[in-house]
């Protein structure tokens, strides 16, 4: 981040505009880990029928799920319940190990949009643990941007989030509905594992997921998902069949 600041403070007249046809990768190289918080919005916990957690519920997504903000979303063979989850994600800037909550935000490099795509049948019906449903290839698109902390409020507790499928709004909320705020979550995680620079913490999704609707609604080939967080841009994925492996 320091090198980027030094570059941005210099003469930018030679910077070239990125052509429209160029693929956008995630603005952070593959993190050593992606730590996610489940059931961290009150309304989302209610729509799933779950009790409000007394402590943050943590799970991991595979780093091979990491994806660009406009890349295609692969529908896995046999998948019947592929769901969406727009989330505010945090990128770690300094090593965090047992950091007090009051100091947690000092360790943040920036913020971005992440979609915690989830295959619900594999998450809930294939052995009773979440990794199978959360770790699929392309299931963690991040971006389009990494916004540094000074670009957002000092406490990112009032950001609007939204998600649409084929242009129809499905999720619409604010981080004010978080059960555990960003600083609390980061401090909490750092007491169980060391967070390294470049690691990503995704803070949970609001209500409006497909599994919470009546009847339940899941993604199919051809659907287009757009997810946004205020100040962090909008990402977009089109659902396709998983390509045949070479």
In the three-class reduction of DSSP (H, G, I as helix; E, B as strand; rest coil), residue 246 is classed as coil
End-to-end CA gap in the chain: 37
Q: What is the pTM of this model?
A: 0.94
- 238: enclosing H helix or E strand: strand 233-241
- How far apart CA 208 and CA 193 sit, in angstroms, is 31
DSSP 131-179: HHHH--TT-EEB-S--B-GGGS-SS--S-EEEEEETTEEEEEEEGGGBS
39: number of Cβ within 10 Å: 19
- How far apart CA 62 and CA 12 sit, in angstroms, is 37
Task: Flag whether pLDDT at 155 surpasses 80.
Answer: no
The encoded tokens of residue 114 equal 């992440």
Q: Which of 187, 235, 188, 186 is nearest to 85 (CA)?
A: 235
What are the residue boundaries of the structural domains of the chain, listed by start? 28-241
> pLDDT tens digits, residue range 165-174?
999 999 999 9
13: number of Cβ within 10 Å: 5
Which CATH architecture fits 28-241?
Answer: Alpha-Beta Complex (3.90)
Q: Which residues contact 69 (CB under 8 A, 6 or more apart)?
A: 24, 26, 113, 141, 142, 143, 144, 233, 235, 236
> pLDDT tens digits, residue range 172-187?
999 999 999 999 999 9
Question: In this prediction, what percent of the chain has a pLDDT beyond 70?
Answer: 100
> pLDDT tens digits, residue range 47-71?
988 899 999 999 999 999 999 999 9
Region 214-243 average pLDDT: 97
């Amino acid at each position: 981040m320091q090198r980027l600041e030094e570059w941005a403070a210099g003469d930018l007249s030679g910077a070239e505009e990125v052509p429209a046809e160029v693929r956008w990768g995630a603005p952070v190289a593959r993190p050593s880990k992606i730590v996610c918080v489940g059931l961290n919005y009150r309304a989302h916990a209610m729509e799933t029928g779950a009790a409000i957690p007394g402590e943050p519920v943590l799970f991991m997504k595979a780093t091979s799920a990491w994806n660009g903000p406009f890349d295609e979303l692969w529908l896995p063979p046999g998948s019947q319940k592929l769901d969406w989850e727009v989330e505010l994600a945090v990128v770690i800037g300094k090593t965090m190990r047992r950091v007090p909550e009051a100091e947690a935000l000092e360790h943040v490099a920036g913020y971005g949009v992440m979609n915690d795509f989830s295959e619900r049948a594999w998450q809930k019906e294939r052995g009773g643990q979440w990794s199978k449903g959360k770790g699929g290839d392309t299931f963690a698109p991040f971006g389009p941007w990494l916004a540094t902390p000074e670009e957002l409020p000092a406490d990112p507790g009032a950001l609007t989030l939204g998600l649409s499928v084929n242009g129809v709004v499905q999720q619409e909320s604010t981080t004010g509905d978080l059960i555990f705020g960003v600083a609390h979550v980061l401090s909490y995680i750092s007491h169980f594992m060391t967070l390294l620079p470049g690691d990503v913490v995704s803070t949970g999704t609001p209500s409006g997921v497909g599994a919470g609707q009546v009847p339940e609604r899941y993604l199919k080939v051809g659907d287009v998902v757009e997810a946004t967080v205020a100040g962090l841009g909008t990402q977009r994925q089109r659902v396709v069949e998983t390509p045949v492996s070479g």
